[in-house]
């Protein structure tokens, strides 16, 4: 049995360890093929939004920093253990805010 490969971020990207993912009406629209902003190939990983900790930054990323808690409106891919996302789209989550609560905002 092989170990799963954890992806590495490229230029302008970070790897996020997902702590919480939102579940919402948009996910059901995407699954039905009725969401206009997603026409990607099937199968796909649902998860419209996520909150997680930046585990690794790409070579040219200054912010966010590794260890920082961030939120992202990723449209798909939130229902995963790890997500590779463009650093420029991430929003910092203030200290003390619960990840499950932050993903709802």
Which CATH number applies to 13-102? 3.90.180.10
Contact indicator for 52, 99 with CB cutoff of 8 Å: yes
Q: What is the mean pLDDT of each run of 10 residues along the chain (105 residues)?
A: 84 98 86 82 87 97 97 93 97 97 92
Contact indicator for 46, 84 with CB cutoff of 8 Å: no
Residue 85, token pair as written in the block: 């996302």
Three-state DSSP state, 102: helix
Three-state DSSP state, 56: strand
Domain range annotation of the chain: 13-102
Quote the pLDDT of residue 83: 96
R_g (Cα) of the chain, nearest Å: 14
Stated pTM of the model: 0.89
């Amino acid at each position: 049995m092989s170990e799963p490969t954890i992806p590495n971020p490229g230029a302008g990207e970070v790897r996020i360890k997902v702590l919480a993912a939102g579940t919402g009406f948009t996910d059901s629209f995407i699954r039905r093929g009725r969401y206009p902003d997603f026409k990607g190939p099937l199968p796909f990983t649902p998860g419209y939004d996520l909150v997680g900790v930046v585990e690794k930054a790409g070579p040219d990323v200054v912010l966010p920093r590794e260890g920082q808690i961030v939120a992202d409106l990723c449209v798909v891919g939130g229902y995963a253990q790890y997500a590779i996302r463009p650093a420029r789209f991430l929003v910092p989550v203030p200290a003390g805010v619960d990840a499950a609560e932050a993903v709802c905002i």
